[in-house]
C-alpha cells in the first residue's frame, strides 16, 4: 500500500545530494547489524508506511542513546498523529509530521499500543506519555518512488529500472538502515516474505535512485 501526504511538505531547499555526500564518512555502516533495527512488519491494507518509517527511525535513535531497542507503536501514530499534525491515518501521512507529534506527545511501545490497522481500520487515540523526542543519528526515514518495488525480489535497484526521483513522484515511506560504497539497505513494511527478508537495496551514488535522497528525515531525542 502506497500513500505519502505531499500536499504540505516542508520547504527544505535542494537536498538531492544529501545521502550521496562522501567526505569524512565511513565507507559502510550497518545499523541492522549493530542491533538498532527491529524486525520487519507488515502494514497490511492500511496506508501507514509513513508511520512504520518514522517509528523505525525513532527506534534506532533510542538504541543509540540507551543501547537497547524495543518495538514502538505504529498504531499510536496512526490514531493520534493527525488533525493539526496533517497525517490522515490509514489514508497516508508524512514522517516529518509524525516526528513533530512525538516531540510533544511521545510514542508508546508496540506492547502498550499494538498494531490493529492491518485491514485498514483505525482506532481511537489513546493519549498517554511515551518516549519523548527532541541528537544522534542512526536509521533515516526516506521516501521513494515505489513503482518498481512491486516487482522487486532481490538484488540492487539502479536508476535503469525507470523509477523517478522528483518530490511528487515519491509514494512510499521506508527506512535506510545501512549503506556500503555500492548501495543503501532499506527496511520496508510489507512483511518478511517480500524482497530480501523484508528489505531491498538501492544503488548508491547513482543519481538519487528512486528519490531516496529527496525527502530524508530523522528525529532527535531529548
Q: Rounded to whole angstroms, how far apart are CA atoms 61 and 118?
A: 26
pLDDT of amino acid 78: 96
Catalytic: which of 100, 125, 165, 172? Answer: 172
Active site (annotated) includes residue 163: no
Total Cβ atoms within 10 A of residue 165: 18
DSSP state of 150: G
End-to-end CA distance of the chain: 33
Catalytic: which of 46, 49, 163, 210? Answer: 49
Active site (annotated) includes residue 49: yes
Written out in words, the top-level CATH class of the domain with range 18-211 is alpha beta
10-residue mean pLDDT profile of the chain (222 residues): values are 59 50 76 96 96 96 89 95 92 94 89 92 77 62 93 94 90 94 95 98 90 87 67
pLDDT of amino acid 105: 86
pLDDT of amino acid 209: 92
Question: What is the 3 state secondary structure string of 74-127?
Answer: HHHHHHHCCHHHCCCHHHCECHHHHHHHHHHHCECECCCCCCCCCCCCCCCCCC
pLDDT of amino acid 99: 94
> Please, how many CA atoms are within 13 Å of residue 196, restricted to the half-sphere of its CB?
11
- In this prediction the pTM is 0.82
Q: How far is CA 27 from CA 19, 137, 184, in A?
A: 13, 17, 12
Q: Where are the domains of the chain?
A: 18-211
Give the helix ranges, DSSP H, for the chain: 31-34, 49-66, 74-80, 95-105
pLDDT of amino acid 220: 77
Catalytic: which of 76, 87, 165, 188? Answer: 188
Chain-centre distance for alpha carbon 160: 24
pLDDT of amino acid 199: 98
- Read off the pLDDT of residues 145-170 as tens digits, 9 standing for 90 and up: 999 998 999 999 998 888 998 888 99
Active site (annotated) includes residue 105: no
Residues 6+ apart with CB under 8 A from 154: 195, 196
pLDDT of amino acid 6: 55
* Contact of 133 with 81, CB cutoff 8 Å: no
Amino acid at each position: 500500500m502506497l500513500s505519502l501526504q505531499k500536499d504540505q511538505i516542508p520547504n527544505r531547499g535542494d537536498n538531492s545530494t544529501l545521502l550521496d555526500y562522501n567526505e569524512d564518512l565511513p565507507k559502510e555502516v550497518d545499523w541492522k547489524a549493530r542491533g538498532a533495527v527491529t524486525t520487519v512488519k507488515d502494514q497490511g491494507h492500511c496506508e501507514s508506511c509513513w508511520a512504520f518509517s518514522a517509528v523505525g527511525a525513532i527506534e534506532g535513535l533510542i538504541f543509540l542513546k540507551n543501547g537497547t531497542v524495543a518495538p514502538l507503536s505504529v498504531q499510536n501514530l496512526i490514531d493520534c498523529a493527525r488533525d493539526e499534525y496533517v497525517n490522515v491515518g490509514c489514508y497516508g501521512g508524512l514522517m516529518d509530521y509524525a516526528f513533530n507529534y512525538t516531540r510533544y506527545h511521545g510514542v508508546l511501545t508496540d506492547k502498550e499500543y499494538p498494531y490493529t490497522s492491518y485491514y485498514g481500520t483505525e482506532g481511537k487515540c489513546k493519549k498517554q506519555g511515551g518516549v519523548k523526542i527532541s541528537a544522534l543519528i542512526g536509521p533515516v526515514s526516506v521516501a521513494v518512488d515505489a513503482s518498481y518495488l512491486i516487482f522487486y525480489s532481490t538484488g540492487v535497484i539502479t536508476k535503469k529500472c525507470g523509477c523517478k526521483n522528483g518530490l511528487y513522484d515519491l509514494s512510499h515511506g521506508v527506512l535506510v538502515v545501512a549503506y556500503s560504497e555500492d548501495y543503501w539497505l532499506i527496511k520496508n513494511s510489507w512483511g518478511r516474505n517480500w524482497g530480501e527478508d523484508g528489505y531491498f537495496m538501492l544503488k548508491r551514488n547513482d543519481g538519487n535512485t528512486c528519490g531516496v535522497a529527496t525527502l530524508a528525515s530523522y528525529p532527535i531525542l531529548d
